[in-house]
Amino acid sequence: MDLLMFIFLAVFPVISDGLIVHSRSGPLFASLGSSVVLPCYVNELLLMKDLRVEWRRTDSETLVHLYQDGESRPEEQHKDYHHRAHFFTDQIQHGNFSLRLDNLRAEDEGRYTCRVYSQQDSGETVVQVKDVERLLVSGSEKSISVSVGEDVTLNCSVDSHIKPEHIEEVSWRKTDGDEDILVLLFQNNKTLQDSSDEQYRDRAEFFTAEIPKGNFSLRLKSVRTEDKGVYMCQVFAGGLSANATVELEQLGFSILHTMALILCITASGSTLLLCFIIHCKSPNKALSDSAVKKRIRTLGYLHVFLPNIMMSVAFVFWGVTEGFLYETVSCCALYILRPLMLLYVAPYLEKIITKALLRGTPEAI
């Protein structure tokens, strides 16, 4: 019965006390974030004195807007419609009481009643706003693989019909496991770089020229191993929120990583090789003591300097790739100080080598 009554009200004008109020015969369809006009008019001229026009939600009787005493009364509106519902004030004297509803939200879907009161008569009509589009956010369906040190793009697109000024907030967060790290934030039509977590500051950015098209993809520069995980693009618009996730996985080795690994292996190999050569050369009696001492001294210097220099360079490559400045400086300083300490004790090497030759073993070197 209620359904039949609504169809009757939506399709035909309502006659109440002789005043015929017209509206649209069918429901209105609109996009989220757009504007829609709810029609309401009469075909006769009404006296402006004591004219009162109310727009209310049919289901809850919430006051959407009010025209009274010759002017709009926005102070009477429900707070959800402040600055969003407007009369065409200059058309009211001609019998046009239509209402424009801006920045449409999902909760605006439903029936609206336009009631007109005049000195002579009163009447009303019902308008339905139907199928307001929901907020849709799309990302990458497949996980993304990238080499450490390279740049990567994490896709995030918002419905193209929603204007950027209607989007309240877009945030990129790393939500892997128990983590909830803010990567980048777009709010009030601005990108807030300073709000990013320290490990992503100056490495994460939007494609600014693409934002008007609803493209909020994230460019992450100089990817690190700890960047691996799940990232969420969350969008707030028109009182709704939606999100899309992107997984960054299979972080491969970059050229710098490979070079650092080769240097570490080479440093270890050179240490073992030099130890073996020193061991073989020390008991060689075919050479004079001075020649033996000279060779052992040279090999000893190589044994201390060469692996440490290789490890220092390896840590420089690792630091450039991973971005760990303090750890890189500390490790490099350690490997540089070790050979410097050798130079400090160099005056005592002569005695150590002499004792080693007398014993015929290289352990003291």
Return mean pLDDT, the chain.
79
| pLDDT of 93 strictly over 50 | yes
User: Which pLDDT value is given to residue 115?
Assistant: 94
| pLDDT of 358 strictly over 70 | no
User: Which pLDDT value is given to residue 315?
Assistant: 74
| 103 φ/ψ sector (left φ>0, alpha ψ -120 to 50, else beta) | left
- For the chain, give every domain's residue range: 2-130, 137-252, 255-359
User: Which pLDDT value is given to residue 132?
Assistant: 67
| 230 φ/ψ sector (left φ>0, alpha ψ -120 to 50, else beta) | beta
| pLDDT of 15 strictly over 60 | no
Cut 0.85: pTM above it: no
User: Which pLDDT value is given to residue 44?
Assistant: 84
User: Which pLDDT value is given to residue 271?
Assistant: 74
Higher pLDDT, 326 or 122: 122
Helix (H, G, I), strand (E, B) or coil at 104: coil
CATH superfamily of 2-130: Immunoglobulins (2.60.40.10)
| pLDDT of 323 strictly over 60 | no
User: Which pLDDT value is given to residue 186?
Assistant: 93
* 137-252 has the same fold as 2-130: yes
Task: Tell me the average pLDDT across 151-158.
Answer: 90
For residue 214, count other CB atoms closer than 10 A to its CB: 20
Distance (Å, rounded) from C-alpha 302 to C-alpha 86?
85
**Least trusted range by pLDDT, from 84-93, 254-263, 315-324:** 315-324
| pLDDT of 11 strictly over 60 | no
User: Which pLDDT value is given to residue 214?
Assistant: 87
Distance (Å, rounded) from C-alpha 196 to C-alpha 204?
8
What are the percentages of helix, strand and coil residues in the chain, rounded to 5?
A: 35, 30, 35
**Phi, psi dihedrals of residue 232, rounded to the nearest 5°:** -115, 130
User: Which pLDDT value is given to residue 4?
Assistant: 39
**Structure confidence by residue, pLDDT tens digits, 202-257:** 899 999 898 888 899 999 998 888 888 899 999 988 667 788 889 887 566 667 66
% of residues, the chain, pLDDT over 70: 76
Q: What's the CATH class of domain 137-252?
A: mainly beta
Band of pLDDT at residue 156, cut at 50, 70 and 90: very high
Burial of 21 (0-12, 13-18, 19+ CB in 10 A): buried
